[in-house]
Structure 1
């Protein structure tokens, strides 16, 4: 663990990285309804765009960890922005060809970039300072991330001067060229940023030093021997899935309800999440622990999910904010709870957690299929069992050591 000191400069640069992650994922909120309108595809098919963004987490989670080990956190961050730029160029080609398979490929490449950047910034911010305050640092970064989710939709609507239902894929080239330029600039910024390389306790190569720093990990021969980590991976899988549903379906849900200015509804979930992050910054670890925060958020998310499906449709959309508020501290709490006591397996454990973000591919796709079958509102029942498992992890799962 790094000694206690001021992390203001590294936090500022990492905050920019987290904002970029939210921006890149937030583009899906616009693409789903635009592709439905322009290509006449089904709800289930359009949500494959989100799935294609998250499938790379499963494929590239482990290679990303190897890349970090080979070239370090900072250079891996820089590499990810170059991949982002390539992805958005593919989006432009996809729009020119009006090809849904090409859109899926572009989303896949964007997801690969996201996997590399997530694999860099999340463990970095976790081990940058004391582990018991990691949730506070991740909450700060989360504000940067979640405030960025609505911006692509609003930026493109503003730039084109059209509401979401009037935008066609042929309109996307101009804003995407601007985004490419921004990501290339961020790649240079990441390469030049004054970010020190960091290591978790017990991550040194020396077996003697590792054993002294983390006695629990010293007795292990495989990352798969950490029960709390494996259960945490499942919790993260479900969390990323349901949070992506809450963030990625709002514009489409508002559009399906016939609400005017559908793009503006993209703010509902991020506002709830940011409120939760602010509470995390204030309360963790001085007043509540990371485990207690996860437990409280699980109860809030369960209440929000029930209200979304049981209240009148025109009102239910606003309760997604409560569901999102519940999601807010799940990410900041799950990471340090799952990564505790990993020692020399820290990078391998981080890779498993990144792979678990594959949940963002599975659950939104299931939501799209359920929307076709039972309607948009009732499809949100999908979130309830996920939140119930996360509640179990917050009460018991994270404590299990074998």
Structure 2
């Protein structure tokens, strides 16, 4: 399921430069595809938690794959009509599927075992997720058989029919899978387990460590999407041959980070410490992308991605600790924060039009600085 999330998002890294060329639109306009995908998190993040409460995690996962399939189907008439608005609708519906899948699988993995080892479990999931990002554009390039600058919009029809079939099959498999329903400590009112910190709370807005974590996740998803989703476009801007091959740079960095997380957390490395180390690494990477010579700068995106690797696994358990009966609501806020993937890459696209692709990566620096603050102090804020 995490592989499916990464694959669905990785499609955007191929579609963006394709639309840029085929429809003769600006970079900012082409990055609206990512904005459409991630805007669904803002609208459906909370409704997704309500659906999970009604039908459970497993059925919600199965439902999300049907949403994915519908969104991918709409890419086909979008290409035939050469319609950017219809492409945005298709991306939005695909984003709905992503929203419901993220809303179910992330809290599921987080509360499936001890909270202190949640980042370890999420690291395993992250390996599958991030390997899927570059596989998506490579799959499209392999089936189409052309360089991205020579592809016409209707060339995407056959690969998208294949993708639709696979996602429908995944939905059926999710429904048949033997996945037990799980609940966090204090979430089940009929249980004897009680979360003392959450018992005295009357509102989700009384958890400052969660709210600061939501902002951290918002910024993190934005800069991670920049590091993963701009590689093919950046390589094209630099005039590098076989631009789609550069899509591997960020996922390799992220997978290395996930392997370290799986090996070191929680025995040798705490989740907050991992977040701090990653924030410093990502800051170094983003500054080097901006200041390095153009021909080398693209490779430093690997350091940005390496830094991003353990941010997702660490932010979820740090922000969702001690939520008790508010666990599902807190999870919905975290899912809504994924809308950062809509705003920040779109701003990057318009900055690229104005100041150039390389300098546009400056947008990542303040985001990583805030995440460093959350790792140092923000996650500790509690009321005794």
Same fold per superposition (TM over 0.5): yes
1:140-161 alpha-carbon deviations (Å, 9 max, x no partner): 0000000000111101111111
Matches within 5 A, 1:264-303: 264-303=245-284
Report the alpha carbon displacement of residue 93 of structure 1 after superposing the two structures with TM. 1.1
8 Å CA contact 1:19–1:147 kept in 2: the answer is yes
Aligned to 1:223: 204
Aligned to 1:149: 133
Rounded to whole Å, the distance in 2 between the matches of 1:338 and 1:169 is 42
Residues 203-233 of structure 1, C-alpha deviations (whole Å, 9 max, x = no match)? 1124x83xx5210000001111100000000
Q: Does residue 161 in structure 1 map to residue 145 in structure 2?
A: yes
Q: Equivalences for 1:2-401 in 2 at 5 Å?
A: 17-206=1-190, 209=192, 213-401=194-382
Q: In structure 2, what is the Cα distance between the partners aligned to 1:331 and 1:144?
A: 14
Structure 1 contact 305–383 (Cα < 8 Å) conserved? yes
Aligned equivalents of 2:295, 2:149: Cα separation in 1? 19
The alpha carbon displacement at 1:164 in A equals: 1.2
In 1: Cα distance, 2:254 partner to 2:368 partner: 15
CA distance in 1 between counterparts of 2:137 and 2:150 reads: 13
Q: Measure, in 1, the Cα distance between the counterparts of 2:91 and 2:316.
A: 25
CA distance in structure 2 between the partners assigned to 1:118 and 1:286 by the alignment:
27
Q: Alignment partner of 1:66: what SS?
A: helix
TM-score normalised by L of structure 2: 0.99
Q: Any conservation in 2 of the 1:137–1:281 contact (CA below 8 Å)?
A: yes
5+ long unaligned stretches in structure 2: none
What do the CA deviations read for 1:97-150 (whole angstroms, capped 9, x no partner)? 110000000000000100000000000000001100000000000000000001
Checking the alignment, whether the CA contact within 8 Å between 1:57 and 1:357 is kept in structure 2 is yes
Distance 1:220 1:287 in 2: 33
Question: Does the residue aligned with 2:266 lie in a helix, a strand or coil?
Answer: coil
Contact 1:37 1:168 in 2 (8 A): no
> In 1, distance between residues paired with 2:4 and 2:261?
22
Q: What's the TM-score once normalised by structure 1's chain length?
A: 0.95
What are the superposed Cα offsets for residues 30-89 of structure 1, whole Å, 9 maximum, x if unpaired?
000000111001000000000000001010000000000000000000000000000011
* Separation in 2, partners of 1:90, 1:70: 28
Please tell me whether the aligned partners of residues 50 and 360 of structure 1 are also in contact (alpha carbons under 8 angstroms). Answer: yes
For 1:239 and 1:372, the matched residues in 2 are separated by 23
Q: Secondary structure at the match of 1:21?
A: helix
Kindly report the root-mean-square deviation, in angstroms, between the aligned alpha carbons of the 2 structures: 0.7
Q: How many residues align?
A: 383
Deviating beyond 2 angstroms after TM superposition, the runs of 4 or more aligned structure 1 residues are none
